[in-house]
Every structure is written in structure tokens, then in C-alpha cells.
Amino acid sequence: MGNITQYASLETRSFTDEPFNAVDALVLASLAYEKMPATVQTLDDATARYGTLTARMRSWLSGPRSAGTEQPPQPAPPRHRTRGLPFRAPFSDVTLGDVAEELDPKDFDVATGHTGLADPKLTQHLYEAVARSPRFAPIRLDGYADRFSRERQMQFAAVTMLLPDGTLAVVFRGTDDTFVGWKEDFNMAFQYPVPAQHAAAEYVNGVARLWRGPLVLLGHSKGGNLAVYAALNAPEKVAERITKVYSLDGPGFPSSVVNSPAYAAMMDRIEKIVPDSSIVGMIFETPEPCRVVRSDQQGPMQHLAFSWQVNGDDFDYLPEVAHSSQLFNQSLNSWLESMSTEQRERTVDALFSILHASNTDSISGLMNAGLKAVPNMIGTFVGLSDEDRRHLLEAVNLFVSASLARRR
């Protein structure tokens, strides 16, 4: 028994001998919380170079300059295969092994390159294991996208990884450390789609236009929700290429979405996996059966991918989620249904007005501020309307009860 880092260290079989599985999906999803180095080509650059046949011809014809021709200094472009005629876009030769070697230890810090809530050292150790892995190191990367907007309340990132069999694994990053990222998640209570969901659908369409091959969409936390949304909103020809969607403790969707024909058509390809005391994965509705993984943590800490237990080449599964997790799902949905859309929006805005009163813009910043942030936050809470305070206290009670509950 171990976690995904031990799995990446010990699983040496190729994807031909041991096909891509749910544990592999969590490994890739966890790697996506680290910002990619400049050697990984962005989707915007790939589209500009190869998005049309004319662009591909221009890129191919320009090719490498002949020796002795002086050129002004240019940034080193990502490495690409350029053999043959450019009737399809080439996929970068940059591998996970290359990325792991290029990342510096100082990049594994929330102030530099790490974006997740897990201990950055855990992600660093995972990259070190991947760099030595004959299974993961050869995976190639391209089409990186990283978009952030305070004005639009949007946090989105994705990268496409090419497996040896030609499958394109589209990996969506989950919620980062910023209040913007978390507010976008909470906005799902009254807004559909949120900007990151719209960006996810556009991203998959852009990848599908550039490169051929089967598609696997995946992500942890919000990334899982984005993977499902992109699959549901893919054009028919793209949807036919999607072989699997992994939502790894990702939030669900409103009832109008899960009861739609599009969801019914995709549902048998969606694999949702949650820890036994899931909180995040129990938000909103999920019609497909969830597989339940054992975690070595309690309460909300089970959301952390590094706590999920791996047994051989698969997770260590349990029969069902804890009763407390089911109760949280029922209570949260009932609470949301008791409020109008406008009341939900006001409640979310009130919550984040309190967080921003800490004079920080991230979870880590709030933790670092400690007790110094409390007076301003209390002052903002007191200044809310009676209704907003009541709704906030109801929400806090729901999450605290779920967090403190033991499996039963």
C-alpha cells in the first residue's frame, strides 16, 4: 500500500503492457498543479504555428535557417518533429522527464511555481519519481494554457500529454491557492457556466483541431469538473474521440445538466472517484456511480491527492462513501435549493468580502497573516446584513459538520 509517488517510483511497465488507468490519471492531474516551464509550447503558439494548413506550410517552409546566416537572437522554440509534409500539426518532443529536470527546487513554492494546496514538497517528490520512471518520463507535453483574471473571476490551466499509443491526455488543473480560484468555484452555486468551464470546452476543441488521436480528459478537484464540462460540450466529432473522462473528487453539476441528453450520452465514459469522506466531490449532483478510494487522512484533508491509497496498479477501494459524506451532499443541496439565485450570489460575495478583508489574496497568505487578519474580517462580518450573516453561518455549519465527522 502506498500513494501516487510510490506508484510512480515502482510501476515500471510501459502503457502497452499496463494500459492507462485511474492511478495514472491522478499522477498526471497532480503534476498539473505545477506551472510548466517555457519549453512547453502554449496552445496559443501551437495554434498560431499550425492551426491552419497555410500556417503549417509557412512553418514547415521556414524551417531551420541555413548555416552561416546571421539572425537576430530569438528565444529557443520548443522542440518539434518537422519531418515530412505538414498536413497535421507536429506534437512537441518535450517530455515529462525533460520538464522534471528543468524544474528547480525553488519552483516548488507557492511564491514561484506551485499552485496547489498540497505541500509543494510532495509535488516535487512526485516530479522526481516521474523523472526516473520508464512509464512516465517519455510522455510528451504540448498545448499549455494558463489564464487568470481577477476581473472575470477566472482561474484556468491545462496541458495536453501525448501517451505512447497516440492517446491525447488532456489534463486540467484544479483550484489553485488564490481567492480568485476559490471564488470561481463558489460561483458555481449561482452561475453556469463559469469562465473556466467555458475555457475548458474551448481548450479541448483547440487541441482536437491541432492533433489527431483518442482523447482522455481528466482533472483533480475543479479540474475534474472542467473535464466533464468539456466532454459534455464537445462538438459531435470531438465527442466521438473521447474514450474516458476522469473526475477525481471533482464537484458535480446542477440537476438541469445531469438530467440532460448530453450527460446521458457521455455518462458511461465518465469515471468519478472520491475519497470515502468526500466533501468537494459531493457538491452538487453526480448521477454516475462513484468509485470510493481509501485515504490515510480524515475529513477535508482526504481531498489531497497524495492521501489516496494505491494497491498495486489500482486504488484501494471501499464499498461506499461514508454516511457523513452522503448527509453533507443532501444537506448542501437542500440548503442551496432553499435560496434564490440572487441570495446565493450575495452569500458568496459576502464570504469573499470577509476573506479579502484579511488584506491577502490567497489561502496561503491568509494562513501567514494569522491572527493579524482577524479584526478586519470580524468587522466585515459584523457589517453584513442580517440575512447575509445568517446564510453564511448556515454554510459554515454545513462545512464544519462535514469536516469534523468521522467515517461511519
Q: In this structure, are residues 193 and 251 in contact, taking their beta carbons and an 8 Å threshold?
A: no
3-state secondary structure 25-55: HHHHHHHCCECCCCCCCEHHHHHHHHCCHHH
Per-residue model confidence as pLDDT tens digits over 257-311: 999 999 999 999 999 999 999 989 989 998 888 999 999 999 889 999 999 999 9
52 domain residue, yes or no: no
Do 297 and 272 share a structural domain?
Answer: yes
Q: How far is CA 219 from CA 27, 32, 171, 198, 258, in A?
A: 10, 9, 6, 15, 19
pLDDT band at 402 (very low <50, low <70, confident <90, very high): confident
For strands 270-275 and 242-248, give the pairing.
parallel
pLDDT, mean over the chain = 90
More confident of the two residues 70 and 275: 275
Helix ranges restricted to H, 320-385: 323-337, 341-356, 363-369, 374-382
Domain end (from 263, 289, 321): 321
Do 167 and 136 share a structural domain?
Answer: yes
82 domain residue, yes or no: no
Q: How far is CA 122 from CA 30, 237, 355, in A?
A: 10, 39, 27
SS3 162: strand
Per-residue model confidence as pLDDT tens digits over 211-265: 999 999 999 999 999 999 999 999 999 999 999 999 999 999 999 999 999 999 9
Domain end (from 321, 340, 371): 321
Q: Copy the grid coordinates of residue 308.
A: 489516496
Lowest-pLDDT choice from 99-108, 125-134, 309-318, 399-408: 399-408
Cα–Cα distance measured from residue 162 to residue 165, given in angstroms and rounded to the nearest whole number: 8
More confident of the two residues 141 and 114: 141
Q: State how many domains the chain has.
A: 2
Cα–Cα distance measured from residue 27 to residue 156, given in angstroms and rounded to the nearest whole number: 19
Do 397 and 271 share a structural domain?
Answer: no
Q: Copy the grid coordinates of residue 3.
A: 500513494
pLDDT of residue 43: 97
- Return the biggest CA–CA distance within the chain: 75
141 domain residue, yes or no: yes
Do 248 and 382 share a structural domain?
Answer: no
Residue 397 has pLDDT above 70, yes or no: yes
Per-residue model confidence as pLDDT tens digits over 12-64: 999 999 999 999 999 999 999 999 999 999 999 999 999 877 777 776 676 54
pLDDT of residue 386: 95
Per-residue model confidence as pLDDT tens digits over 141-180: 999 999 999 999 999 999 999 999 999 999 999 999 899 9
Residue 83 has pLDDT above 90, yes or no: no
Cα–Cα distance measured from residue 84 to residue 120, given in angstroms and rounded to the nearest whole number: 42
Do 257 and 228 share a structural domain?
Answer: yes
Q: In this structure, are residues 307 and 301 in contact, taking their beta carbons and an 8 Å threshold?
A: yes
Per-residue model confidence as pLDDT tens digits over 320-340: 999 888 888 888 888 888 999
67 domain residue, yes or no: no
More confident of the two residues 28 and 367: 28
Do 305 and 287 share a structural domain?
Answer: yes
pLDDT of residue 195: 97
**CATH no. for residue 12?**
3.40.50
Do 300 and 365 share a structural domain?
Answer: no
Terminal CA-CA length for the chain: 23
Q: How far is CA 344 from CA 68, 284, 333, 388, in A?
A: 65, 14, 12, 9
Lowest-pLDDT choice from 68-72, 169-173, 361-365: 68-72
pLDDT of residue 52: 76
Lowest-pLDDT choice from 62-71, 274-283, 335-344, 350-359: 62-71
Tell me what the mean pLDDT of segment 379-402 comes to: 90
Residue 85 has pLDDT above 60, yes or no: no
Domain end (from 288, 321, 354): 321
Per-residue model confidence as pLDDT tens digits over 205-217: 999 999 999 999 9
194 domain residue, yes or no: yes
Q: Sheet containing 242-248: which strands, arranged edge to edge?
A: 140-149, 154-162, 168-172, 215-220, 242-248, 270-275, 290-293, 317-318
Do 308 and 196 share a structural domain?
Answer: yes
Q: Copy the grid coordinates of residue 100.
A: 522534471
80 domain residue, yes or no: no
Closest CA to 24 of 154, 118, 139: 139
pLDDT of residue 71: 38
143 domain residue, yes or no: yes
Q: In this structure, are residues 324 and 406 in contact, taking their beta carbons and an 8 Å threshold?
A: yes
Cα–Cα distance measured from residue 307 to residue 385, given in angstroms and rounded to the nearest whole number: 40
Residue 406 has pLDDT above 80, yes or no: no
Do 122 and 22 share a structural domain?
Answer: yes
Residue 216 bridge partners (DSSP):
169, 244
Domain span including residue 22 = 4-46+89-321
Do 349 and 288 share a structural domain?
Answer: no
312 domain residue, yes or no: yes
Do 313 and 333 share a structural domain?
Answer: no
pTM for the full predicted model: 0.90
Do 342 and 315 share a structural domain?
Answer: no
pLDDT of residue 87: 64
